[in-house]
Amino acid sequence: MTAISFEFFPPKTDDQRKQLHTAAHKLKGLTPEYASVTFGAGGSTLSYTGETVRQLRDRHGFSVAPHLSCMGGTRAEIAELLDGYRQHGCRRIVALRGDLPSGMASPGDFRYASELVRFIREHSGDHFHIEVAAYPETHPQANDALADLRHFKHKVDAGADGAITQYFFNADAYFRFVEDVRRLGVTIPIVPGIMPIANFTQLRRFSEACGAEIPRWLTKRMQAHGDDAQAIRELGAEAVAQLCRRLIEGGAPGLHFYTLNLARPTLAVLDRLAL
């Protein structure tokens, strides 16, 4: 059986809060292994992650994994967050470097996610199951793809238990990544991150920023559908479901859905998979 998990982001307005709860309500019936909550680096959104973690646990009964980015944070601040999540019953953390928000001068006490993973192990022992990020199409800031693979291994050597990938639409990039890091001695599960297609224009913008390649055929087909929202939704769901089928057949240990706090695009994919 393929384990599934969902990612949500912390809402900031009342409308967004309503949207999160509607999505969580519809998705919890699929009995995901856990739900993760993203982390907005530096400043105000820090507090929203903790609040969203509590809401998803208390109102919807999810087992929740907060994302924790070390960019801009001090050891003391990160230790406090870890202690808070432990008190709130969290057993899983997604440990990230994050990106320095514009205008923030200091990167904080940690430079890379591997240093954060090591710190979590020092501070919290084996309490947390630690997930880290993986990039089958190479991290967008890496100018050496092979060095990027070795940097991924550093996170595993520092104590990561599992990895979730950046989203991608090319299954071969995932299989190649897994093969390459297995050759380096990495044995942890590497779960593909899946981006259901809700809004193609937005997806193209996101993909440019995070270095995910959208296949030319998919872009062309989407463009050919023009304003036909129904046709675009169906093509998106079918293309992503086909990707998931290939990943499962090829041995992917689970699927982690980037829900963007919407149930429908994720459900459209999962309905087609009938897991």
Angle at 146 between CA 253 and CA 185, to 5 degrees: 45
Closest CA to 267 of 240, 247, 245, 248: 240
Closest CA to 20 of 28, 92, 212: 28
Distance linking the first and last C-alpha atoms of the chain: 7
Stretch that binds ligand FAD, among 23-31, 36-44, 72-80, 236-244 (CB under 6 A): 36-44
User: 72: left (phi > 0), else alpha (psi -120 to 50), else beta?
Assistant: left
Q: How far is the CB of 229 from ligand FAD (least distance, A)?
A: 28
The footprint of ligand FAD on residues 206-265 (CB under 6 A) is none
Residue from 4, 6, 97, 261 binding ligand FAD (CB under 6 A): 97
CB of 92 or CB of 97, closer to ligand FAD: 97
Rg of the chain over Cα atoms, rounded to whole angstroms, equals: 18
Size of residue set near ligand FAD by CB under 6 A: 24
Residue from 5, 52, 55, 114 binding ligand FAD (CB under 6 A): 114
Q: How far is the CB of 155 from ligand FAD (least distance, A)?
A: 6
77 binds ligand FAD (CB under 6 A): no
Phi and psi at 163, nearest 5°, equal -135, 150
The footprint of ligand FAD on residues 5-24 (CB under 6 A) is none
The footprint of ligand FAD on residues 127-166 (CB under 6 A) is 133, 139, 141-142, 148, 151, 154-155, 164, 166
Strand partners, 190: 163
Give the HSE-up count for residue 17: Cα atoms under 13 Å, Cβ half-sphere. 10
Cα–Cα distance measured from residue 244 to residue 109, given in angstroms and rounded to the nearest whole number: 38
**Which residues are part of the catalytic machinery?**
7
Give the residues lining the site for ligand FAD (CB under 6 A): 38-39, 41, 67, 69, 94, 96-99, 112-114, 133, 139, 141-142, 148, 151, 154-155, 164, 166, 193
